[in-house]
Amino acid sequence: MAIELEDLGNGVWSAPGARIIDRTGRRMLPIGHDGFVPVAESFAFVDKTMLIADVLDSRAGISVICRPDSFGKTLNMTMMRAFFEIPPDGQSRAPLFEGTEVWEAAGGRYREHQGTYPVIHLSMCTAKNDTWEASYASIRSLVTAEYQRHAYLERSDALLEDQRNFVRRVMSGAATEADYAGSLIELCRMLWLHHGRRVVLLIDEYDAPVMAGYSAPGGGYYREVVSFLKGWLTGALKDGGEALAFACLTGVQRVTKESVFSDLNNIVVSTALDTRFDERFGFTDAEVEALAAYTGHPGCMEEAREWYDGYRFGDVDVYNPWSVLNYFAQGCSPDVYWGSTSSSAVLGDLLRNSDASTLGDVYALLEPGGVVWRPLDLGVVFPEDGATGEIIWSMLYLAGYLTTDQTALPGDTLTPRPLRIPNHEIELLYRTEIVQRFASVAGGRGRLMSLHRALVTGDENVVASALGGIERDSASYLDLVSEGACHMLVLGLLFGMGGYADPVSNREAGYGRLDIRVEPVPVPAGHYAVARRRPLLTIELKFARDADELDSLASAALLQISGRGYDAGPLPQGAFGRMRWGIAFGSRRVAVASEFVE
């Protein structure tokens, strides 16, 4: 049943647990817009202004908020700038907040903070290049632009001539490296002197240059970027303490105190495990229901939940807001919207660098109700030799590719937590990455599709040639020295088969446990002839170090399928017949045997 929205006037609509603001009444959603002022002036948006109250009430000197890409960090940061800043153009932003939750909360006591602080606002999203030189140039440009935004300091009588000259050098691009290294703390001090009010410092995507330095080609520039940010940020956040009211930084990955935030003792970090700010990033169910009702899509909630819900932030269940907005804007047409915006390379790193054991965990996640139990240490220092082992699970969690329902004791880095894929959208991203990775292993998407066709039609020569070529030329991908590693290889190669569901493995069947099964999916009406050519696939794998044993092992594997009844019983809906494969690996060779049974 659709919820009822209460019209509070002035473009404000309310429902239990949610508030929608739309000053224009056009019901247009802000796709591709993340600046609060244009969004508040021209679009409908979900009211997240109580983040302002949370930040003020926290009394934290420095708040670092880590959330996945496209979960509202940039919009929230520009919202705080619009609320707190003494407007350089003299135009009050107060009308944009009238009727919002923060404007009315606590008898209006938060209003006294509106438009009363000098604000430094920097977004590091452009400072993520392939080289340190390029990223450093981007940082310099960001600093120059922020100085130009405060160009009135060049004429301020409250500053010394040396300080005014400093402003001129930075604005003109004539500043030295030493000038830029101290540019943040100097701007804090000068704004404080000019306005007589302490400064609010907002830095969005602070980790973007760090992640770029970590993943850049040719070994990257992680050390260089961390070294610069450590001095640049610490100077303002610690040494500029008397000039600073408070600071708020947002990012995806948590860059630890041991790297960027050394010597800071007034920092509070909020990750998705924390209850601090848990409702302020991402949409709650009540907010999505209100948005669905306001945009005229109340009947789409179940589909929206399946595709975009499923995250757990602190004590709150949340949706991916970017995907929800696109879903409603496209008339409730589900798609992978988040994948086109997420800049995180963590999932790709996982699948490129994983061993057979890690791949097995990924495959387990994709099964219905699949979980992997791992501890989360969200304060790890990025390794210079790539994200591997336990670290990768924490990075995947922070990046939004995994979530957990056990969010208690966020500082506990030892107890395993049940990690799961949040929703259908992220499932599809995993499958896409798996197919791309194993298409590369197979020598391209065309060769992978040829292997799939050969497995369906029983073409032993093509299957043996394709798998033999992979073992001969690509063994380094998985170190194919055991049956388990070969099992993970074949399983990965079977994702993305046209007309088939994801492969499953190690399932109880007949009188034992089959290795791999791939079932055809039911075919829509009008494609019955195609459906008849899709058999149930059952694959049994063997491994031997003696190449002379491979042919007999492949034959034995084939007999094992029928002998133990792995594919006995009624065929799944949409299947026509049973295609059985015995495959034996070893000594850089592959032997296969197959049979088709109606």
Helix, strand and coil in the chain, % to nearest 5: 45, 15, 35
CB 322 within 8 A of CB 71: yes
What pLDDT score was predicted for residue 340?
56
Which ranges of 222-299 does DSSP label H, i.e. alpha helix? 222-234, 285-294
Tell me the three state secondary structure of residue 118. Answer: coil
Residues 140-192 have pLDDT tens digits of: 999 999 999 999 999 999 999 999 999 999 999 899 999 999 999 999 999 99
- For 1-9, which contacts have Cβ atoms below 8 Å and span 24 or more sequence positions? 2/292, 2/293, 2/298, 2/299, 3/289, 3/290, 3/293, 3/298, 4/293, 5/290, 5/293, 5/294, 8/99, 9/99
* Nearest Cα to Cα of residue 233 among 193, 200, 253, 203: 203
* Nearest Cα to Cα of residue 165 among 175, 192, 149: 175
What pLDDT score was predicted for residue 522?
82
Q: Could you tell me the two tokens for 240?
A: 């500029």
Identity at 443, one-letter amino acid code: G
What pLDDT score was predicted for residue 437?
83
Taking residues 13-30, report their average pLDDT. 96
Residue 25 contacts by C-beta under 8 Å, 6 or more apart in sequence? 11
What pLDDT score was predicted for residue 527?
52
Q: Check whether 344 has a pLDDT greater than 80.
A: no
Which residue in this structure is represented by tokens 């920092």? 267
Q: Could you tell me the two tokens for 145?
A: 């632009």
* Nearest Cα to Cα of residue 390 among 370, 416, 429, 420: 416
What pLDDT score was predicted for residue 266?
74
Give the CB-side neighbour count of residue 464, counting CA atoms within 13 A: 15
Residue 413 contacts by C-beta under 8 Å, 6 or more apart in sequence? 375, 376, 377, 378, 379
Q: Check whether 239 has a pLDDT greater than 70.
A: no
CB 495 within 8 A of CB 435: yes
Q: CA-CA distance, 89 to 176, in Å (whole number)?
A: 29
Q: How does DSSP classify residue 333?
A: -
Q: CA-CA distance, 509 to 566, in Å (whole number)?
A: 5
Taking residues 531-558, report their average pLDDT. 89
Q: Check whether 39 has a pLDDT greater than 90.
A: yes
CB 294 within 8 A of CB 15: no
Sheet holding 578-586, edge to edge: 504-509, 512-518, 536-543, 578-586, 589-597
Which ranges of 458-500 does DSSP label H, i.e. alpha helix? 460-473, 483-493
Angle, nearest 10°, between helix axes 222-234 and 183-195?
Answer: 20
What pLDDT score was predicted for residue 586?
86
Which residue in this structure is represented by tokens 């388990």? 484
Q: Residue 99 burial (CB < 10 Å; 0-12/13-18/19+)?
A: buried
Q: How does DSSP classify residue 225?
A: H
Quickly state the pLDDT bin for 220 (edges 50, 70, 90).
confident
* Nearest Cα to Cα of residue 271 among 379, 401, 381, 413: 379
| Segment of 250-254, 255-259, 436-440, 537-541 carrying the highest mean pLDDT | 537-541
Q: Identify the helix (H) or strand (E) that includes residue 301.
A: helix 301-308
How many residues belong to the chain? 598
Lowest mean pLDDT among 229-243, 346-360, 544-558: 346-360
| Segment of 388-397, 449-458, 517-526 carrying the highest mean pLDDT | 449-458
Q: CA-CA distance, 482 to 300, in Å (whole number)?
A: 48
Q: Check whether 244 has a pLDDT greater than 70.
A: yes
Q: Could you tell me the two tokens for 598?
A: 């109606």
Radius of gyration of the chain (CA): 28
CB 436 within 8 A of CB 495: no
Q: Check whether 439 has a pLDDT greater than 90.
A: no
* Nearest Cα to Cα of residue 55 among 46, 47, 45, 65: 65
Which residue in this structure is represented by tokens 């093509």? 462
Average pLDDT score, the chain: 90
What pLDDT score was predicted for residue 525?
58
Cα 76 from chain centroid?
Answer: 18
Q: Check whether 12 has a pLDDT greater than 70.
A: yes
Lowest mean pLDDT among 260-264, 291-295, 494-498, 556-560: 260-264
Angle, nearest 10°, between helix axes 321-329 and 285-294?
Answer: 20
Residues 78-117 have pLDDT tens digits of: 999 999 999 988 889 999 999 999 999 999 999 999 999 9
Q: Check whether 532 has a pLDDT greater than 60.
A: no
534 backbone dihedrals φ, ψ, rounded to 5°: -110, 95
What pLDDT score was predicted for residue 472?
77
Q: Could you tell me the two tokens for 349?
A: 């790193």
Taking residues 40-62, report their average pLDDT. 94
Quickly state the pLDDT bin for 385 (edges 50, 70, 90).
very low
What pLDDT score was predicted for residue 55?
95
Quickly state the pLDDT bin for 531 (edges 50, 70, 90).
very low
Q: Could you tell me the two tokens for 215?
A: 């993943």
What pLDDT score was predicted for residue 479?
67
Taking residues 472-477, report their average pLDDT. 62
Identity at 34, one-letter amino acid code: D
CB 203 within 8 A of CB 127: no
Q: CA-CA distance, 502 to 434, in Å (whole number)?
A: 11
Q: How far apart are the first and last CA of the chain?
A: 48
Tell me the three state secondary structure of residue 24. Answer: coil
